[in-house]
Amino acid sequence: MTLLIVAVLTFAFFKARPLWAHAESAQCRARLVTVGGLLKAWRGAHEGNFPADLESLGTLVPSSDPAIWACPSDPRPSSYEYYFPTGGSPAKDAVFVRCHVHGQVCLADGSVPRKAPAKGK
């Protein structure tokens, strides 16, 4: 009987793990959507220029939750990779912020595509 209970609990645990990972991936995407909205607002208020760093976007919303700067699957407080555009205005499909855990991106136009672009773009 004990063996049966352990087997059922083990099965349930391993079935729940992918669901948890999917939930964290969805939460990560939602945070990138928030960052994209802040990017659009920043560029509108600063003549189309990009911020020097991600935390600068937080000045637009002083009460913003500091958790939006990090992937929920990463314990670091600021885990998203920021790509500061150099050499003029980047293409609108250039990567602005990237999650190194899930591979999701926020593009220079503030959008967050459902599918991450191919590596090397």
Element (H, E) at 61: none
Q: Domain-by-domain residue ranges, the chain? A: 2-107
Terminal Cα distance for the chain, rounded? 55
- Helix, coil or strand: residue 105: strand
Assign residue 47 a region: left if phi > 0, alpha if psi is -120 to 50, beta otherwise? left
pTM for the whole structure: 0.73
In this prediction, residue 120 carries a pLDDT of 46
95-113 residue pLDDT tens: 899 999 999 999 989 999 9
> What pLDDT is attached to residue 121?
44
Greater pLDDT, 17 or 95: 95
pLDDT at 22 over 80: no
Handedness of CA 113, 26, 83, 60 (dihedral sign): positive
Torsion sign (Cα): 8, 13, 16, 17: negative
For 23-81, the pLDDT digits (tens) are: 889 999 999 998 899 888 888 888 888 888 887 887 777 656 778 888 999 888 788 99
